[in-house]
Amino acid sequence: MRLHDMPEVKWMALSVFLVVLILKYYIDPTDLLGLALSGAAVGAFGLALVLLLTNVPRPDVFWDKERSLVAILRPWTVEVCAARLLSSVPIGIDLSFSGNKVLRAMYTRYSDKAGGAVVFFITRPKGNQSTKIGFLVRRRDLRLWNGMQQVDRLAKKLVADIMILERSMRAAYPHLPVEEAEFEDIIKATTGGLETHAVA
């Protein structure tokens, strides 16, 4: 389990507990019972967070070959990813200027609502395989009681995202072919890498 797997809500809740404890001490430092209860609540939450970080099972990963989407279901979050690769990139070419155009095009798509992200990635295999360069788009949400319904909902949004991404990549890099990323490419491009135990 990696720290990036944790949704931000848990860290926000811990921060709120700590702020309440500090305010309680600042407003009424003589209320020992209130301070003890607040400290116990923060300690219990911190212990639960540590246990959650160390004992959560690995995520379930699903591959939609038809749409080239990867769905990652963790205990607290649902994530759907897709990527496009730039093939036949000449050595020494500067990709950053045109990459800014792609990021600007995707910014307008993601600026209205949280949960979406676009990532520029480079994967360098250890063997003789070629280096992969591309962009990954991701939609993430808190996992509720029915994770697969959330996957379907996020996948519909991501299909539109990937169409915009592909168009912007073709416009920004008119001389480079744009290809669909395979399952292994998307998994390698996820934040920090991802070790899977279930692929459907």
Residues with Cβ within 8 Å of 122's Cβ and at least 6 positions away in sequence, in order, are 131, 132, 133
pLDDT band at 51 (very low <50, low <70, confident <90, very high): low
Which tens digit of pLDDT belongs to each residue from 13-26?
A: 767 777 776 776 66
Give the fold, CATH level 3, of 60-189.
Answer: Aldehyde Oxidoreductase; domain 3 (3.90.1170)
Single-letter amino acid, residue 27: I
Which tens digit of pLDDT belongs to each residue from 56-80?
A: 667 888 898 888 899 988 877 889 9
Which tens digit of pLDDT belongs to each residue from 150-173?
A: 888 889 988 988 998 899 888 888
Task: Quote the pTM value.
Answer: 0.65
Which tens digit of pLDDT belongs to each residue from 75-104?
A: 778 899 999 988 776 665 667 767 778 888
The residue ranges of every structural domain in the chain are 3-55, 60-189
In this prediction, residue 12 carries a pLDDT of: 65
Span 34-62, average pLDDT: 72
Single-letter amino acid, residue 177: P
Which tens digit of pLDDT belongs to each residue from 94-136?
A: 677 677 788 887 887 777 667 788 888 887 767 677 778 888 9
- Burial of residue 139, with CB atoms counted within 10 A of its CB: 0-12 exposed, 13-18 middle, 19 or more buried: buried
